[in-house]
Amino acid sequence: MHIGTYIQLVHQSEKDLAKAFHYVAEAHKAEPDIFGMSNTLAGWSEELYNKLQPMTEKYGKEDDSEADRLLHAFFDQKRKGSLSLLQDLQDLWLMANEANVSAIILGQAAFGLRDENLIALCEEIEQKSKRQAAWLLTRIKSSAPQTLIAAS
Amino acid sequence: MIQSRDSVKDIWGERKPYYGEWPERVDQNLDAEPDNWVKSACVLCSNGCGLDIAVKDGCIVGVRGRAEDRVNHGRLGPKGLHSWVANNSQERLTKPLIRKEGKLVETTWEEAMNLIVAKSKEIIAKQTGLGIGFYTSGQLFLEEYYTLGVIGKAGIGTPHMDGNTRLCTATSAAALKESFGSDGQPGSYTDLDTADTILNCGHNIASQQTVLWSRILDRLAGPNPPKIIVIDPRTTFTAEKATVHLAPRVGTNIPVLNGLLNLIIQSGNIDQDYIDQHTVGYDELVKVVSKWTPQRVEEVSGVPQSKLKEAAALLAQTKTLVSTVLQGFYQSMQATAASVQVNNLHLIRGLIGRDGCGIYQMNGQPTAQNTRECGADGDLPAFRNWSNQQHVSDLARIWNVEVDKIPHWAPPTHAMQIWRYAEQGSIKLLWISGTNPAVSMPELARIRKILNKDDLFVIVQDAFMTETCEHADIVLPAAIWGEKTGCFTNVDRTVHISHKAVDPPGDARSDLDIFIEYARRMDFRDKDNKPLIKWTDAEGAFEGWKACSKGRPCDYSGMSYEKLSGGSGIQWPCNEKYPNGLRHLYIDGTFNTNIDYCESYGHDLETGAAVTEQEYKLQNPNGKAFIKAADYKPPHELPDDDYPFMLTTGRVVYHFHTRTKTGRSKELNEAAPDAFVQISEADAAGLGIADGDMIEIESRRGKVIEPARIGDIEPGLVFIPFHYGYWDKPGRLRAANELTITEWDPVSKQPHFKYSAVKIRKAGQGILNKIENVIEDVATAVNLKL
């Protein structure tokens, strides 16, 4: 059984996502909407992380090197100017989608285990990560032309 | 002086008690007996009162309310009765100004327009139209907005066009779109003539729309007076007349509304048939509001349980209801989410689309509705959906341009983002018309810094030398109301025509003429190489707009200048089906949510994420209204040890906006000559503050000094009116927006003017403070003149 691996993956991805949202909020403080909303959405991930905690105890967790590979690969601190906002939002979008698909996978197993709590939790993570990604995409779409064409 | 009453002392005038048909009362204010009268309407708030302009020897000498007008039945308020004197002011701009060696000097139209065109072309060549932004107003005319909209979208091809309506009524449009599929007020002012209950949400109607308040006062004095529920943290003139006054802590509108909805649902007084047949989303609402017990509402908002229950009982039982919503909701935390709950209240009780049942997601400015309709703000013309390819193609066909000329890859850029792009340097030209951001935007120090940037070319088009003009590279003198012909639409969809009564002063030109001249010089062309702008006057622009609006919710196709001039206000839609307009929208419970017709697919109310076409298809509203629930989120800036008070901003009855007009009326100015800070008795006593003491109020963003006014406000909260700037009193920092915060609602993008954490102390305590203040004041004054 590898359920522990995926519990760990989802658990860690929410932790990383919260960290990443906080990082983007700070790095782009001068964008008032980015600052406020990124911190709000970091809060969603922190809450989900806490809700998952009892599951890691119930099923045990298996440490897995897959877990926070994205956080390490993303958010190159050398990024500069308005392009950096676009690139950072793109990284966040990928992480939110990673959280989303991990929750779908874990959710399938939760059905197999008939664990109502885990099913509900996976559904919540799926919904929340989808909304996080939707906000990111809305923001990315509106700033892309200005960043790529008009900004110096 | 021939004055029907002293409207400064007697704001709302003599009572005419009634139920059913509002009796006439003609208000007037004349300096002399006129030679002739010219048909118009008032532009001093969103009410749109019909009036005639008195003209003698080519000058405006007064105004008189029109008895037959459906909006005001002859009445006018103090602002409308007095502000016409601004037309005749010696301080009017009469010549274009150009900045040379750091100073603004008089120039010719030829030189000014040549420079604007040269700059525009240079920027477009380097950056495309994305380097140009327009920031317009809620105070031009319909024909001007539409022309500007076509120039921006099909001429330059920039998505960066918005109005100061973003600061005042963006949430109105957003809330209507989220619930009903498109902008457009469902009700009619006639609803007030019979309504059993009136709910004012963050709307100080008595100060804002004095004539509309007269209508309510006359109902209160008559048989079957309505019950009035007011949600406002201050004891305003409106709140003084309330049956129930709920005074929530700033930023807690959602808990109060959710609490009311919860009690109404629990009482069982919902219209289940209406909910089943005409709405989607009710179950989610029940789930979210059920957590808001009266006890929890009291804990979070401070509204006593007994008062909440009293208000809920009235709302649950009333057979008819008129609700109004304004800045107390729009400029506060969770603006769109809270305003949508008012729509939900009407939907779950089935109180919409019939006499006595109106929702007014209010407008603040006289022509704000047209900014939104005509596409001079962050919308496409005639409530078209920017993410619907067919809607964009329709516009391309009407304008005879390639569809890709029209920016539609994302929503048009909202004002706060336009300013941000200017701050970052990717917008190089900002064209400001009919608005004064150097006083009205949040965080003024930042706005002044942006306006003063070397790499930003600033054009300001105005009638007076405003605080914003001081920072311009080019100032264009504009003709105003009374000096040009055009139409505008009030908050109950009533369209008036306002005829030219006199010539503008000096070389001033109408905004329409300026925009048309710009388009001609820029040589904007359509697909057939014909001029893009097909009209040369206001009536031509109106005909163009009629074609653009045909078949859309705001259908003007059945109107004409002749028809509008013959009567006294026509409501849209006005077309073949409804040649005389339509009193209520959504009469049969069919809303504008059909996927091919809607203006927007909607948003996540908490994040502002756009709902996609595919997701919208799954929701399948197809004519049903959306019930969208929202849970509470606390404001981002709360009082703390360093900044222990909450500041809120708002209006006074005698002034409009930044007082460019009202401040030039002797009577209005004397009635309210200066800003002030309102503070509770308890807080004043604690800080040793007496009435009239000069108080220093400081936020994380700036500082002002205001005389204290004590009482009629909750402890912990202070209030400063937003009207006052520096053009007539440059000595002291006094604009409320020195303090306000740069952030906005995620859906409507309307800034949060209603809360900032501040600290306060008596000004001038100690000689060092005094010196410091004097130095700062002088520095500010000097800076403003730079």
Residue A135 is nearest to which of B416, B424, B609, comparing CB atoms? Answer: B609
- For residue B727, pLDDT beyond 90: yes
Give the H/E segment covering residue B497: strand B494-498
Given a cut of 50, is residue B250 above it in pLDDT? yes
For residue range B6-17, what is the model confidence (pLDDT) as tens digits? 999 999 999 999
Q: What is the pLDDT of residues B675-689, one digit of tens each?
A: 999 999 999 999 999
Can you give the pLDDT at residue B2?
83
CB of A141 within 8 Å of a chain B CB? The answer is yes
Closest residue by Cα to residue B378 from B43, B136, B47: B136
The span from the CA of B755 to the CA of B757, in Å, is 7
Tokens at B182, concatenated: 């498109």
pLDDT over 60 at B742, yes or no: yes
For the residues B382-402, what does the mean pLDDT come to? 97
DSSP letter for each residue of A105-150: HHHHHHHHHT-HHHHHHHHHHHHHHHHHHHHHHHHHHHHHHIIIII
Whether A33 has its CB under 8 Å from any CB of chain B: the answer is yes
pLDDT score of B768 more than 90: no
For the stretch B545-568, pLDDT in tens is 999 999 999 999 999 999 999 999
What is the structure's pLDDT at B313? 98
Confidence at B770, pLDDT banded by 50, 70, 90: low
**CB–CB of A150 and B127 under 8 A?**
yes
Kind and range of the H or E element at B339? helix B335-348
Q: How many CA atoms lie within 13 A of B635 on its CB side?
A: 29
Q: Is pLDDT larger for residue B438 or for residue A60?
A: B438
Ordered per-residue pLDDT tens for chain A, 152 residues: 788 888 999 999 999 999 999 999 999 999 999 999 999 999 999 999 999 999 999 988 676 666 666 666 777 777 777 899 999 999 999 999 999 999 999 999 999 999 999 999 999 999 999 999 999 999 999 999 999 998 87
Residue B594, pLDDT > 50, answer: yes
| ipTM given for this complex | 0.92
Band of residue B536 on the pLDDT scale cut at 50, 70, 90: very high
Q: What is the dihedral of CA B135, B326, B190, B258, to 10 degrees?
A: 140
Q: Please choose, from the candidates B44, B136, B77, B158, the residue with its C-alpha nearest in 3D space to the C-alpha of residue B440.
A: B136
At B124 the three-state DSSP class reads helix
Tell me if chain B has a CB within 8 Å of the CB of A73.
Answer: no
* Angle (nearest 5°) at CA B197 between B191 and B198: 70
Looking at the complex, report in whole angstroms how far the Cα of residue A70 sits from the nearest Cα belonging to chain B. 24
Is B781's pLDDT higher than 60?
no
Whole-angstrom CA distances from A16 to A67, A135, B169 are 9, 18, 39
pLDDT at B786: 39
- Please state, rounded to an integer, the average pLDDT across all residues of chain B: 95
Contact A94, A82 (CB under 8 A): no
| % chain B with pLDDT above 90 | 93
Residues of B with CB under 8 A from a CB of A: 127-128, 130-131, 159, 407, 409-411, 413, 416-417, 420-421, 424-427, 604, 606-610, 612, 633, 636, 742-744, 746
Q: Which pLDDT does position B636 carry in this prediction?
A: 82
Residue B241 is predicted with a pLDDT of: 97
Q: What is the pLDDT of residues B83-138, one digit of tens each?
A: 999 999 999 999 999 999 999 999 999 999 999 999 999 999 999 999 999 999 99
CA distance A113 to chain B (A): 28
> What confidence score (pLDDT) does residue B785 get?
42
Q: How far is A98 from chain B (nearest CA, A)?
A: 19
Smallest Cβ–Cβ distance between A37 and the set B610, B612, B746 belongs to B746
d(CA B309, CA B218): 27
Enumerate residues 6+ apart whose C-beta is below 8 A from B678. B234, B709, B710, B711, B712, B713, B718, B719, B720
- Express as a percent the part of chain B with pLDDT over 70: 97
Q: What is the pLDDT of residue B384?
A: 97
Q: Does A80 touch chain B (CB under 8 A)?
A: no
Reading the block at residue B40, the tokens are 């118009």
Q: Which amino acid is at B282?
A: Y
Interchain pair A142, B636: CB under 8 A? no
**pTM exceeds 0.90, yes or no:** yes
Residue A42's nearest CA partner among A90, A4, A92, A83 is A92
Residue of B227, B251, B234, B240 whose CA lies nearest to B310: B227
Nearest CB partner across the interface for A150, out of B131, B417, B608: B131
Strands laid side by side in the B486-489 sheet: B486-489, B494-498, B570-571
Number of residues that this document lists for chain A: 152
Please name the residue ranges forming H helices in B15-108: 78-82
**Tens of pLDDT along B327-343?**
999 999 999 999 999 99
CB A7 within 8 A of CB A52: yes
